[in-house]
Structure formats: C-alpha cells, structure tokens
C-alpha cells in the first residue's frame, strides 16, 4: 500500500517534548503552516504558556501534561487529540532525557530513567500512534534519534545507547507496518548538536557545566526535517553535516574515532564559566524551568544545513550554500571581534 500523507495545513500533529527545544520549535513551525498541534510534556505550567503563545499566532492547540514513560499518560494524550480535533495525522516522538558523565559514575537508576523516556516512551508512543493511524487510514510516525544512534559519544553513554535502541525499534516497526500495508510512514530524524536547552536539562556528573560539542545547529532546522517527514515518507533524515561526519567516521574508521573522542571529546562537552540557565538544570526526575526553544549558553549556531537541504529540496542547494557562506563569514567575524 502506498503511503499518502496530507498537506500540513490539513493535519493534526501530536508532539511529545513540546514544551522546549526541538519539540517547541516544531510546534511553532507547524502552527505557522496551518496545522493543529497537540503538545505533551511534564511541565503543565510551561505548556499553558506555550498554548497561549501559539494561540496568539492563530494556532489551533491542545495540551496534555504527560510523562512519556507512563503508558497511561500517552493513552490520555491520544484521547486529548481525538477529543479536541477528532484524531491526529502525525505523531512526533521528541521527548528525551540525558546525562553527562562516565558510565561507571552515572547511577544505574539514571540509566534506567533515560531508557524509560528515550526508548520505552518512544516505543509506547509509536505503538499507540500506529493503532490510531491504522484505523484512520494512514499517517506518519516521526521519531527523534540522533547521530549518536550511529556512533556513541564519550560521557554520553546512556543517551547514545538509548538512541541506538531507538534506531533499531524504528527500523523494525517500519518494516512491520510496510509489510502489513498499513499506509503509515515511519521516519527517524538524526540531528547532530542542536542549540536547545539539552545541556541544562541533562543531569551532570562532570566537574564543569555541560555543553554540546560544536558545530551547533538551530532547532528550526530540526523542525523543518520533522515537518517534511510529516508530509513526505522518508526512511531517515540527517540534520547537520558535522554530526553526519561523526556518523561516517564511526563507520569508516571506528578506532580512529574512538581515539579522537578520547582526546578531544570530554573537553568539547564542557563549558567552564557558562552554566547556561541554572534554574533549568537537571530535569531527569522532575520538570524544571521550561518553555525555551534555544539553549542559553553563548555559542555559535548555524542556521543552515546543506545536508538537510540536499535530502529535502536539492534545487535550493545553491541558494542555501550562498547563505551558509555568509553565515560562516559572520561567525568568523564574531569570533575574531574580541581580539581586535
């Protein structure tokens, strides 16, 4: 059965992890393009504020306070979508949890929590979505993986392991639904480092504030990839060429990649003197301050991804390449300015 997906303006999209980062960026982009959205996160207060903001933009919005590691919460999320908008056409599994630190120092309970959110939560959400979309005649399931699905990062072992599991589960579900002829597209999005509050939200076992290793990309690019997958059946989409390079290196030269990470990987994930937003720190077990698309650390952020454009709209490549050159020149000028 050929998968046919509706235009965004005719869709209702469920988004977990919708109160910050990539999920919130996707909600904004979806509303601007005419879709209705149903947002889930643990922080109900932040969700209420997000709902008001999106409704001021003319958005059709419903919210559901939910912990994705709890199956009953995800079932309620689906009921909210059905009760408010009559159902949904795309389900985006974006919620995630993370830690920074050596595998031996991260508590086993934290490893379990990361898998409960990143893997079990995504799996339960995908299965609930599949049941609904099968009855609806088709739709899209979009799962947020990572380039760390391909290649583990030192000091992010638990997160890397959960994302490898996400890739395997996504691939297995895609094959089963395709064999069945369910008319459901299943896409895995693999971002590199994205400028979200991820470092602040992660539990930190290191001696310095965590950061994401450069190059960092704007969350709007991840939103672009997610919404593209809601309209166009794709197996997977990478966001950010630097992250894709890590995936390639891990496959082609795994031992050299090990050595590079052992030498540079820990320092690249620390930002002494720049803790970001302290009240947002460590939401592993309970929500903290929320509601921001972007992280608060002072870092250079790319707003273009040639790799993503090549996958979604190659005819735009020359224009995006020109924009990327200007962006890089601006970044260099910014980095040199304090030295002048």
Catalytic residue IDs: 159
- Measure the CA–CA gap between 311 and 194, rounded to whole angstroms: 18
Comparing CA positions, the residue from 279, 106, 269 lying closest to residue 200 is: 279
CB 20 within 8 A of CB 94: no
CA neighbor of 81 nearest in space, from 117, 129, 113: 129
Buried/exposed 91-129: b ≥16 CB within 10 Å, e otherwise: bbbbbbbbbbbeeeebeeebbebbbbbbbbbbbbbbebb
CB atoms within 10 A of CB 45: 13
Which residues, in sequence order, are CB contacts of 65 under 8 Å at separation 6+?
A: 40, 41, 42, 43, 44, 47, 73
Strands 184-191 and 203-204: unpaired
CA distance 201 to 197: 6
Residue 154: both structure tokens together: 């030192």
């Amino acid at each position: 059965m050929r998968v046919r997906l509706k235009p965004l303006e005719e869709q209702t999209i469920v988004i977990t992890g919708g109160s910050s980062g990539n999920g919130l960026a996707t909600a904004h982009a979806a509303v601007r393009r005419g879709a209705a959205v149903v947002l889930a996160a643990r922080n109900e207060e932040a969700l209420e504020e997000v709902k008001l903001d999106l409704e001021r933009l003319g958005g059709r919005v419903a919210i559901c306070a939910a912990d994705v590691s709890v199956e009953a919460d995800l079932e309620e999320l689906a009921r909210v979508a059905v009760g408010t908008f009559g159902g949904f056409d795309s389900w985006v599994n974006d919620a995630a949890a993370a830690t920074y630190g050596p595998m031996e120092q991260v508590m086993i309970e934290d490893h379990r929590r990361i898998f409960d959110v990143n893997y079990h939560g995504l799996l339960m959400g995908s299965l609930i979505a599949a049941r609904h979309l099968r009855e609806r005649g088709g739709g899209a399931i979009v799962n947020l993986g990572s380039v760390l699905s391909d290649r583990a990062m030192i000091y992010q072992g638990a997160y890397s392991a959960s994302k490898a599991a996400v890739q395997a589960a996504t691939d297995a579900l895609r094959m089963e639904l395709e064999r069945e002829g369910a008319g459901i597209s299943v896409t895995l999005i693999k971002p590199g480092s994205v400028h979200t509050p991820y470092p602040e939200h992660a539990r930190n076992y290191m001696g310095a504030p965590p950061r994401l290793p450069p190059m960092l990309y704007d969350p709007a690019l991840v939103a672009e990839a997610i919404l593209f997958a809601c309209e166009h059946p794709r197996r997977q989409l990478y966001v950010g060429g630097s992250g894709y390079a890590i995936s390639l290196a891990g496959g082609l030269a795994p031992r050299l990649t090990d050595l590079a990470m052992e030498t540079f990987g820990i320092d690249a994930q620390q930002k002494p003197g720049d803790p970001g937003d302290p009240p947002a720190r460590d939401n592993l077990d309970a929500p903290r301050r929320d509601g921001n698309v972007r992280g608060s650390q002072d870092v250079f952020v790319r707003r273009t991804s040639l790799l993503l454009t090549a996958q979604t709209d190659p005819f735009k490549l020359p224009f995006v390449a020109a924009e990327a050159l200007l962006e890089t020149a601006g970044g260099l000028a910014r980095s040199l300015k304090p030295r002048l």
